[in-house]
Structure formats: C-alpha cells, structure tokens
Amino acid sequence: MKLFARSIATVSAGLVALTFLSACAQSSSSEVDGVVVDAAGSPLSRCAIEVVVVDAPPYPEISQVTGEDGEFSWTLPDGLYDIVAHCGGEPGRERVQVPSESELRITVQQ
C-alpha cells in the first residue's frame, strides 16, 4: 500500500510540474522600450531600471542600467508592471501593460 501511495504522489507531482511548464510555455512576452529623462527632457544615462510585477508571472531579472542615451529595453512576459527609474533623486515610475505599442518615457526629478 505504501508503494502505491508513493507512486500516486510521484505521478501527482509530475502532473503539477507539467501543468506549470505548459503554462509557462504558453505565455508570450514582448519587448518594452523606454527612455529616462530629467524634468527638462534630457536623457539620463546610468540610471537603474527596476521592474515591479503588478499582475504578471514572476520575473527573475531584478534591474538593469540605462545606456548613454538614457534608453533601456526589456523583454517581459505579458502582464502589468511598474517600471521604476532610480537616478539619485526622486525615482520616476510608469505603469505599463505588456504587450505595449508605445515607448515609455520615465521622468526623474533630480
């Protein structure tokens, strides 16, 4: 009887894993492009960009840094996110629904 119960538990765990993997494989992702600017509209380089999941699958990458042109690009699973820019002053924050057709513009107060 113990062997039967162990077999059922193993099969159940396998089904749960397959369901999870199937759900992950079916979710799509899209690229989110943006630029971080100051109050005057000038691009800001070397700002930390953080993705905060609002309503989406968990996302493992924590942050990245803007380029010299203030731009960033991130591939995210479809869902709702807050994109936060940290540049030394008050952080800028924009909410985005992925997929998105427009480029984000995050203004940071320095």
| CB-neighbour burial class of residue 86 (10 A; exposed 0-12, middle 13-18, buried 19+) | middle
7 pLDDT higher than 60: no
Mean pLDDT, the chain, rounded, equals: 81
**Mean pLDDT, residues 74-98:** 94
Quote the CATH superfamily of domain 28-107.
Carboxypeptidase-like, regulatory domain (2.60.40.1120)
Question: CB count, 10 Å around CB of 80?
Answer: 13
**Residue 1: what pLDDT?**
53
Confidence band of 72 (pLDDT split at 50, 70, 90): very high
Q: Where are the domains of the chain?
A: 28-107
